[in-house]
Structure 1
């Protein structure tokens, strides 16, 4: 099975190890993984800031970079959800309509691809400790992803999974929201971290590094003893 990687901007620049771990998992499952080095942003930051014309320009390049019949897999529910749910509006009544349709059909968030396409739930991973899962808004609300990540994590040997209070509540990042409404964003992040700590978790796990990056900033500043982990990093552990 051929798979094209879509690596979001912040993963490429700040968390490249997660991208490599995603490749590690996909190759273990027999996928032929390819990466188009010409790829850039999906356009979500510009769109969220109100710059639709600029977003459309970036999204047009994205359509060209991922004009493929292969599966496209990304370690981000946020970016996946944006492309799926908003590209149709960006390119409504345009010549790119069929390209958008093809892209939306082939694009999957990482855990969604594992559970819904490859039909796997046990990667043979091992991680000692207790973990709690944060339902990132992009994954949960934009892509409808909830049970799949939990199923994958439940099969990680040595990892005890505990639900924290308000696991589905936003962490406060929200891209430009955290810039425009910093005090509110910090307060939401604080509540999320404290809920994770109260669960007794050693690891705060999610599908989205945008959320985890935001939460890690609070964790580091206040010296809390809990570690953030993308689910791809968890699934690539111990083998």
Structure 2
């Protein structure tokens, strides 16, 4: 399979680079290709003409989206729509990733694939807009929602907690937001299997188990055997501009369940 990968050096893109080692892959980092450059992206897709395109790019700064919404929408929405248009014209399937933040977090039982987005911050709104444009411009897509992504590459919650725990005797983490942590490598492997099925549509790919950021942090520190105490705090005490979903658990009802986030976390820490 000939694969075109955008965002190859990011948290998720790096995981794909590893698991796609047996495939013919054309990889482009953010520096090598700006996903908002319509002419450049179009030229690459038409020149490479792959069997499938994987887009792992994204504006992920939730607070930054409140301050610079035009930049968040440029990457998370409009660039996605243009890429979908190009792929449709070339008859190439497109894999795109979205987020739990397209939901408002008010549903105790979590969210299934068919639930309608209702974002409560501009980051979520930009990702929801990207979902809409993707589905409008092409029918050959894998729209994969995931959440609380962590892995050995790039900045993420696990790496942040490890750094703080090594430097501080006490760290405070919010205990009133709940979701499903997801290991980048597990997500990439599951996505590759889904790609080969050619069963297009919307999917939720997450590791199993719902947890708060607070309890997630406790498990990180405990597993890494760091002598630092994790203290609970409320989201309101952070005084953030962007509202966060309270319970953003994505429920996977279409695919085989992934392993627990605790098991995945252990494997991730072994790679660091």
TM bucket (normalised to shorter chain) is 0.3 to 0.5
| Greater fraction helix | 1
TM-score by length of 1: 0.36
TM-score by length of 2: 0.32
